[in-house]
Amino acid sequence: MARVRQKNGKDRHQEILEAAARVITDRGLAETRIQDIAERCGVSPGLILYYFESKDRLLVEALTYANDKYYLAQARDLRRLDSARDQLWRLIDLSVPGLLPDFERLEEWALWIEIWVRALRDPALAKEREVLDRRWRQSIADIVRQGRTTGEFDEGEDADEIGMKLGALIDGLAIQVLMNDTQVGPEHMQRMCQEVAASLIGFELAPATSA
Amino acid sequence: MARVRQKNGKDRHQEILEAAARVITDRGLAETRIQDIAERCGVSPGLILYYFESKDRLLVEALTYANDKYYLAQARDLRRLDSARDQLWRLIDLSVPGLLPDFERLEEWALWIEIWVRALRDPALAKEREVLDRRWRQSIADIVRQGRTTGEFDEGEDADEIGMKLGALIDGLAIQVLMNDTQVGPEHMQRMCQEVAASLIGFELAPATSA
DNA sequence: CTTGACTTTGAATCACCAGTCAACTCGATC
DNA sequence: GATCGAGTTGACTGGTGATTCAAAGTCAAG
């Protein structure tokens, strides 16, 4: 039946995308071979190309697939919190590589850098990247807007503008932390993001804060 | 004579590094072949490996060589200016991809991303990267310190801390601009950097500013 | 049990590219 | 003008890895 076939097909499809994303984080995009992905799935290399037109297409799909996955997990996580400030703090915590025990976040940032490099020369991925990056800034701006609607935050600079600034700051710091920079550790990044966020949005920072 | 050989040798060495850096910006690190570098120099592929132990070593050297070059050019440029604020504004302008007609800046950022990706798996480059990134933050912090020494800026948050925040912000925004993001253009980035810098250091922003 | 569409395999193909090497060039030296 | 050796060439080697493909396997439906 079509249903069964489709279902199997879909599982495999997804299974391969997940395997590809993991291999990319492990070995780096440039060093990722079809063989590696096949091994991770426990199938033969030929099958990978049965499900994906080419290695390149698969890699690009895997990058955006993984990014989607992380984004959705983050959105789900944030939705549990009522206070805009709690949401913002949680968003920061989720963005600091290696802060939370869940080290999928490390993966996520490594994938982001791969996306950026590749998007420089791959128009298809370039388009995807813009959507992905916009969504990321947007999620910050939305928190700010929400906080203002409920009166938790005062009015001030345009929320989208704050999203860009804070988003860029987080990007830049996350890179340093991901690289294991000795001057920028996870807690340090967390604190700096909180400070800048407070200053941008315009509220006081309590001495000892945590989400 | 040893002198002639050395001189020729040194020219070639540098010539190859420069060619390699250009090829990397053009084609991307992953797509760079020895053949490409040789062609750019107008020599045969064999010669590249006569001067460099291996392709990998050459690529890593080329990345740091280019970064050094840009850093030194920037330092030279800034030294001409007396006012700390002018220096800061100039540093920002120099950091915005595509703001100044001199589009070497585009190259520079593309190379940075390549460095980051590769540093994730190459311990030698990882060490280099830390030095390079630190120097970059330092050059911001130094301007802040200088401005405070002369009384141009008020005392305030630790200068190194400001360097990290502003440096990270610039990194993050530069990525977006480099990617040709439709929401973050060069002038927009410039303005946002100035705003955050003014807020971090604590001075008022004149309506229409420029270096 | 048979059919046929879908899935899977793994060997074969094909292109590409880093790195090697033997030979050649040519200016400097004696 | 013979010799030396750094610099240079480009053909060659060896390995790798994407992609193809014919054959084999699976399984639901008739």
pLDDT digits (tens, 9 = 90+) for A87-125: 999 999 999 999 998 767 788 999 999 999 999 999 999
SS3 of A64-83: HHHHHHHHHHHHHHHHCCCC
Phi, psi for residue B104 in degrees, rounded to 5: -60, -25
Mean pLDDT lowest among A63-72, A75-84, B103-112: B103-112
Q: Is there a contact between A180 and B126 if contact means CB atoms under 8 Å apart? A: yes
Longest dimension (CA), chain B: 62
Query: Closest Cα partner for B122 from A102, A30, A96?
Result: A30
Up-side HSE of residue B156: CA atoms within 13 Å toward CB?
Answer: 20
By C1' distance from the Cα of B47, the closest nucleotide is D8
- Taking a C-beta distance cutoff of 8 angstroms, is the pair B125, B119 a contact? yes
Q: Which of A27, A30, A173 sits opposite B168 (nearest CB)?
A: A173
Mutate to test the interface with B, among A114, A160, A178, A183 (most CBs of B within 10 A): A183
Up-side HSE of residue A170: CA atoms within 13 Å toward CB?
Answer: 26
* Among B residues 18-77, those touching chain A with beta carbons less than 8 Å apart: 27-31
Note down pLDDT in tens along chain B; length 211 residues. 333 344 454 689 999 999 999 999 999 999 999 999 999 999 999 999 999 999 999 999 999 999 999 999 999 999 999 999 999 999 999 999 999 987 677 889 999 999 999 999 999 999 999 999 999 999 999 999 999 999 999 999 999 999 999 999 999 999 999 999 999 999 999 999 999 999 999 998 876 544 4
pLDDT digits (tens, 9 = 90+) for A180-200: 999 999 999 999 999 999 999
Q: Which residues of B touch A192 (CB under 8 A)?
A: 161, 164-165, 168
Q: Read out DSSP for B8-75?
A: HHHHHHHHHHHHHHHHHHHH-GGG--HHHHHHHHTS-HHHHHHHSS-HHHHHHHHHHHHHHHHHHHHH
Mean pLDDT computed over A45-54: 96
Query: Closest Cα partner for A35 from A18, A25, A23, A26?
Result: A23
* Count of C-beta atoms within a 10 Å radius of residue A3: 7
- Taking a C-beta distance cutoff of 8 angstroms, is the pair B143, B74 a contact? no
For the whole prediction, is pTM greater than 0.85? yes
Task: Identify the pLDDT of residue A5.
Answer: 42
- Taking a C-beta distance cutoff of 8 angstroms, is the pair A189, B194 a contact? no
pLDDT digits (tens, 9 = 90+) for A130-174: 999 999 999 999 999 999 999 999 999 999 999 999 999 999 999
Percent of chain A clearing pLDDT 70 (strictly above): 92
- Taking a C-beta distance cutoff of 8 angstroms, is the pair A85, A143 a contact? no
Q: Which of B113, B172, B176 sits opposite A169 (nearest CB)?
A: B172
Task: Identify the pLDDT of residue A208.
Answer: 54
Phi, psi for residue B32 in degrees, rounded to 5: -80, 125
Give chain C positions with protein CB within 7 A. 6-11, 16-22, 27-29
